[in-house]
A and B are shown apart, each in its own frame.
Chain A
Amino acid sequence: MSKTVTQTKSLGERILAQPGPALVWVLGLLLLCALEMGAIAEMTVAIVGGLASSFAAVATAVLGGPVMPSIAGTIAGGLESATTIAAGLPDLVSRSVIPNQGYQTPDGVWHGTFLGLEPKYAWLLRVALVYGYIFVFLWWLWRGYRAYVDHYRTADWTPRDDMVRRLRSHSWGKFGLVVVICFVGMAMFAPTISPSTGEQNMYNMNAYDIQYYNSDAGSVEEISVLQANFQSASQGSGSQNVGLWQYDDFDRFHPFGTLTSPGQDLFTFMAYGARISLLVGSVAIGIALALAAGLGMITAYYKGLADLTVVFVSDTIQSLPSLLVLMLASMVFSHHWLGKIYNGGLLLAVMFGIVYFPNMWRSIRGPALQVAEEEWVDAAKSYGQRSSTTMRKHMLPYILGYLLIYGSMSIGGVIIGTAGLTFLGFGINPPIPEWGRAISMGQAYVTTPAWHISLLPGLLIVVVVTGFNALGDGIRDAMDPESEGEDTSAGVGATGGGA
């Protein structure tokens, strides 16, 4: 197209012609990133480290042999140095800027917390700062898009403008977006917004000590986190319970209370659990969407035998009760190397992806068939374009929006399913926190003062799943105003309930 329209310049040229707004935006972005340099680096290291260690584990399991440990050792060493470097970088919203763990001496003064604030307020301040940062960052990205639209886009209007406008006036969809952002933020910034770190609170309790003021002895003493957790566990009775918004005996603040023995901080558990929920959910939906989109285009393009094969496969998968198959799979693979990666998370994600794809494929098949009948596809075909290129360039953009809708609506089902499986004792194994495990821990304490253990994770699941559904509704209405009110989600296997 660019050959025919002579005045079209590349984006780079357009920016060079009018560098002002772009420069301001890039500077702002750099500033925002610089504030968070440490966290970004740490996250990169963590992700790379996680991948590397799981690959090393797989390689060890599959190949065995003496080579592997040395490689794993090298990886671990490299990671350690990378972590130290990352920790040295400036980081505005990290725990170390606003520490909330400290102790109170009888004179009412807090030691070790930010500006001597009460841990409660220090923690709240940190959470507010994190979410403030997230929203400012997203707002800045939005401004970047607006700057592009206002100054650098050649077209005055594109259909996307209407979509954005409709989404912006869709309050239910915006509610969903905010919930989803909060959830993703909780997952991404889990180490920062939780009152205690995961390392200290869950994985390695014995290796850390905390200071507290012992009123019997009248002095500041040290105790290991494991011991402290045991003594501040919520067991349901009045004396042995740390509920919502309370401090335990060691002056540690627990916004959501503590778990049953050992009494880890529930909020920390939830924040780290959001990570695994999000990870399993997005990997599963990613697999399902990739399968659905690929197969949807192939079946719509070739029809005939390809279509029949996929119909057969998806019917087979759909005729099985998915939850039971997932249970069976995670049981059968529990001692297999595949079931060990990320404590069963990867297996679960892959299985969910396979189980969810037939439904999505069915939903996408209609639009895909429709676009395959279009003249431009025919034209591309007769020009001799390769079929894969035709699919990618002329069909995929059309069904991309549908993918977004179905993905957003199905992820809730995966989150609930993962929690349900973990509740049953399949799924994600300890020590990786998962919301379903918190629910099962608190099962016996629902009507006792320790009701928070079961109730809060469940409520959070409800809110998050509703949020994803609302976002899906909003995107659907934005893309296709005709469909307003129609319930696509029912077509996509009614996110929720099932588990």
Chain B
Amino acid sequence: MSAVFVILRAGPLDPVAAILGQRQNPVLAHQIRLQLGIIRPDGSPVPLWEQYLEFMWGLITLEFGQSWVISRGTPVMDLIVARAPITIWLGFWSVMIALLIGIPLGFYAGLNPNTSSDYLASFGGIVWRAMPNFWLAIILSSVLVSSQFFTESLFGVALSWREWLWDTGVIGGPPLDNLADPEQLFAAIKWIMPAAIVLGSSSMGNEMRIGRTAVLETINSNYIETARAKGLTGRVIVWKHVFRNALIPLVPIISGEAFLLVGGSVLVELVFGINGLGKLTFDAISSADLTMAGGILFIFAVFLQIMNIIQDFLYTLIDPRIGYEQ
């Protein structure tokens, strides 16, 4: 976070100029500087180290100050809290997609190595991983928006994604205030699905590749042979011995998804027009709203640290050999 401070305060960008834009007004500029804590009331500049202490203290107490440009005067924290739910919803489903599609596919490929379906899955995983998120988002959203036209020309049946099963939009985010109602819940899931697929795509490819390798490795190990020798059925071997051990190398990939999600959410939310944290980050950075950007970066960093802790915790849960005693 200190690095962020350096970029924000000691960098070449003048926050006052960013706030005022074209309208230069010495009196106003003075007021803003005062408000930001850059100068003292008598006009002398506050030394950088004092600014730094104040900045760090603000981070610890979650007091990020007020937004400068996007919404003048609103505390940064309020904006973040208001935008967070839709991003969490998106992130949750993209993780689910990656887990529920990537891992089973990878395990399937690992259990049937060197078959044509294995090659198909592996190749798909490699290519899937190399796809830029934002490009996939553009293609998918555009195709879905005019899905009616495509299905009609391809299959002869006009099937609109917008009206399919539940009536939702393609662009934008679903309302999340009434999830208890199953109808609303499913509509919200369907609405977020394309964006979640895009966001989850790269980690999905990863999980598939790692899952395949992990299964291949476990299946060739001695204890599996022993289990087979004592006459365990294939199903028990797979579920009890292979599955659990193959999960271990997947843990860092799953928690590493958090990094992909944070970066990817900016691009995906922008393309899909979802008004979440990613969009807020983009707006904050492109309009030089530095307190806002700093606050969001801090929240993201904290989130990533929490994910790291959860990862270590998961390790001990899945693999009892790993402990904190050593």
> How far is it, in angstroms, between the C-alpha of A458 and the C-alpha of B138 when the chains are bound?
10
Most buried by A among B136, B149, B263, B300: B263
- What residues of B have a CB within 8 angstroms of the CB of A87 in the complex? none
- Closest Cβ of chain B to A188, distance in Å, is 23
- What residues of B have a CB within 8 angstroms of the CB of A327 in the complex? 266, 281-282, 285
What mask results when residues 315 to 343 of chain A are scored 1 for a CB within 8 Å of chain B, else 0?
01101111111011101110110000000
Instruction: Across the interface, name the chain B residue whose C-beta is closest to A415.
Output: B132
> How far is it, in angstroms, between the C-alpha of A8 and the C-alpha of B158 when the chains are bound?
79
Tell whether, in the assembled complex, residue A321 and residue B262 are in contact, meaning their CB atoms are under 8 Å apart.
yes
Tell whether, in the assembled complex, residue A331 and residue B285 are in contact, meaning their CB atoms are under 8 Å apart.
yes
The stretch that binds B, out of A38-46, A267-275, A385-393, A488-496, is A488-496
The stretch that binds A, out of B3-11, B19-27, B48-56, B221-229, is B3-11
A455 and B139 in contact, given A324-B263, A332-B11 (Cβ under 8 angstroms): yes
> How far is it, in angstroms, between the C-alpha of A498 and the C-alpha of B206 when the chains are bound?
12
Q: Is B297 an interface residue (CB 8 A)?
A: yes
Q: Is B174 an interface residue (CB 8 A)?
A: no
- What residues of B have a CB within 8 angstroms of the CB of A328 in the complex? 4, 7, 285, 293, 297
Q: Is A20 an interface residue (CB 8 A)?
A: no
What mask results when residues 461 to 493 of chain A are scored 1 for a CB within 8 Å of chain B, else 0?
110011001100000000000000111001001
Tell whether, in the assembled complex, residue A498 and residue B202 are in contact, meaning their CB atoms are under 8 Å apart.
yes
Instruction: Across the interface, name the chain B residue whose C-beta is closest to A467.
Output: B130
Tell whether, in the assembled complex, residue A497 and residue B12 are in contact, meaning their CB atoms are under 8 Å apart.
no
Q: Is A86 an interface residue (CB 8 A)?
A: no
Tell whether, in the assembled complex, residue A454 and residue B139 are in contact, meaning their CB atoms are under 8 Å apart.
yes
- What residues of B have a CB within 8 angstroms of the CB of A462 in the complex? 127, 130-132
Q: Is A419 an interface residue (CB 8 A)?
A: yes
- What residues of B have a CB within 8 angstroms of the CB of A416 in the complex? 130, 132
- What residues of A have a CB within 8 angstroms of the CB of B134 in the complex? 419-420, 423, 436, 439, 499
Q: Is A424 an interface residue (CB 8 A)?
A: yes
Tell whether, in the assembled complex, residue A499 and residue B133 are in contact, meaning their CB atoms are under 8 Å apart.
yes
- What residues of A have a CB within 8 angstroms of the CB of B285 in the complex? 324, 327-328, 331, 426
Most buried by B among A321, A327, A457, A496: A321
Instruction: Across the interface, name the chain B residue whose C-beta is closest to A412.
Output: B130
Q: Kindly identify which residue among A319, A321, A325, A487 contacts B209, using a CB–CB cutoff of 8 Å.
A: A487
- Closest Cβ of chain A to B147, distance in Å, is 9
Q: Is the interface of B mostly helix, strand, loop or mixed?
A: helix
Which chain B residues (153-181) contact chain A, with CB distance < 8 Å? Answer: none
What mask results when residues 138 to 151 of chain B are scored 1 for a CB within 8 Å of chain A, else 0?
11001101100110
- Closest Cβ of chain B to A120, distance in Å, is 28
- What residues of A have a CB within 8 angstroms of the CB of B13 in the complex? 331-332, 335
- Closest Cβ of chain B to A179, distance in Å, is 11
- What residues of B have a CB within 8 angstroms of the CB of A331 in the complex? 13, 285-286, 288
> How far is it, in angstroms, between the C-alpha of A443 and the C-alpha of B142 when the chains are bound?
8
Tell whether, in the assembled complex, residue A494 and residue B139 are in contact, meaning their CB atoms are under 8 Å apart.
no
What mask results when residues 435 to 462 of chain A are scored 1 for a CB within 8 Å of chain B, else 0?
0100100010011000000110110011
A487 and B213 in contact, given A424-B266, A498-B263 (Cβ under 8 angstroms): yes
Tell whether, in the assembled complex, residue A494 and residue B138 are in contact, meaning their CB atoms are under 8 Å apart.
no
Tell whether, in the assembled complex, residue A439 and residue B135 are in contact, meaning their CB atoms are under 8 Å apart.
yes
Which chain B residues (98-138) contact chain A, with CB distance < 8 Å? Answer: 126-127, 129-136, 138
Tell whether, in the assembled complex, residue B201 and residue A332 are in contact, meaning their CB atoms are under 8 Å apart.
no
What mask results when residues 227 to 265 of chain B are scored 1 for a CB within 8 Å of chain A, else 0?
000000000000000000000000001001001101110
A447 and B142 in contact, given A322-B263, A324-B300 (Cβ under 8 angstroms): yes
A332 and B260 in contact, given A424-B270, A447-B149, A496-B202 (Cβ under 8 angstroms): no
Instruction: Across the interface, name the chain A residue whose C-beta is closest to B216.
Output: A485
> How far is it, in angstroms, between the C-alpha of A335 and the C-alpha of B288 when the chains are bound?
12
Q: Is A191 an interface residue (CB 8 A)?
A: no
- Closest Cβ of chain B to A182, distance in Å, is 16
Q: Kindly identify which residue among A324, A457, A497 contacts B133, using a CB–CB cutoff of 8 Å.
A: A497
> How far is it, in angstroms, between the C-alpha of A447 and the C-alpha of B170 when the chains are bound?
15
Most buried by A among B136, B142, B271, B304: B142
Q: Is the interface of A mostly helix, strand, loop or mixed?
A: helix
Tell whether, in the assembled complex, residue A423 and residue B267 are in contact, meaning their CB atoms are under 8 Å apart.
yes
- What residues of A have a CB within 8 angstroms of the CB of B74 in the complex? none
Tell whether, in the assembled complex, residue B259 and residue A496 are in contact, meaning their CB atoms are under 8 Å apart.
no
- Closest Cβ of chain B to A486, distance in Å, is 6
Tell whether, in the assembled complex, residue B206 and residue A494 are in contact, meaning their CB atoms are under 8 Å apart.
yes
A320 and B130 in contact, given A332-B12, A447-B145, A485-B216 (Cβ under 8 angstroms): no
> How far is it, in angstroms, between the C-alpha of A495 and the C-alpha of B128 when the chains are bound?
11
Tell whether, in the assembled complex, residue A490 and residue B266 are in contact, meaning their CB atoms are under 8 Å apart.
no
Tell whether, in the assembled complex, residue B4 and residue A320 are in contact, meaning their CB atoms are under 8 Å apart.
yes
- Closest Cβ of chain B to A331, distance in Å, is 5
- Closest Cβ of chain A to B287, distance in Å, is 9
Q: Is B305 an interface residue (CB 8 A)?
A: yes
Tell whether, in the assembled complex, residue A321 and residue B253 are in contact, meaning their CB atoms are under 8 Å apart.
no
Tell whether, in the assembled complex, residue B206 and residue A325 are in contact, meaning their CB atoms are under 8 Å apart.
no
Q: Is B301 an interface residue (CB 8 A)?
A: yes
> How far is it, in angstroms, between the C-alpha of A423 and the C-alpha of B286 when the chains are bound?
13
Tell whether, in the assembled complex, residue A329 and residue B132 are in contact, meaning their CB atoms are under 8 Å apart.
no
Q: Is B188 an interface residue (CB 8 A)?
A: no
Tell whether, in the assembled complex, residue A497 and residue B266 are in contact, meaning their CB atoms are under 8 Å apart.
no
Taking A447-B146, A496-B129 as given, write out 17 further A-B residue pairs in contact, using a Cβ cutoff of 8 Å, ordered by the A residue number.
Answer: A317-B3, A319-B304, A320-B4, A321-B263, A325-B297, A327-B282, A328-B285, A331-B285, A336-B12, A412-B130, A416-B132, A424-B266, A424-B270, A469-B126, A497-B264, A498-B264, A499-B132
Could you pull out 24 A-B pairs where Cβ atoms are within 8 angstroms?
A: A320-B297, A323-B266, A324-B262, A324-B281, A324-B300, A327-B282, A332-B12, A333-B11, A420-B133, A420-B134, A443-B142, A446-B143, A447-B149, A458-B135, A461-B132, A469-B130, A485-B216, A490-B210, A493-B256, A494-B203, A494-B253, A497-B202, A497-B203, A498-B264
Report B's interface with A, CB cutoff 8 A. 2-4, 7-8, 11-13, 126-127, 129-136, 138-139, 142-143, 145-146, 149-150, 201-203, 205-206, 209-210, 213, 216-217, 253, 256, 259-260, 262-264, 266-267, 270-271, 281-282, 285-286, 288, 293, 296-297, 300-301, 304-305
Report A's interface with B, CB cutoff 8 A. 316-317, 319-325, 327-329, 331-333, 335-336, 412, 416, 419-420, 423-426, 436, 439, 443, 446-447, 454-455, 457-458, 461-462, 465-466, 469-470, 485-487, 490, 493-499
The 7 residue pairs across chains A and B that have the minimum distance between CB atoms: A497-B202, A323-B263, A446-B142, A458-B135, A465-B130, A321-B262, A447-B146
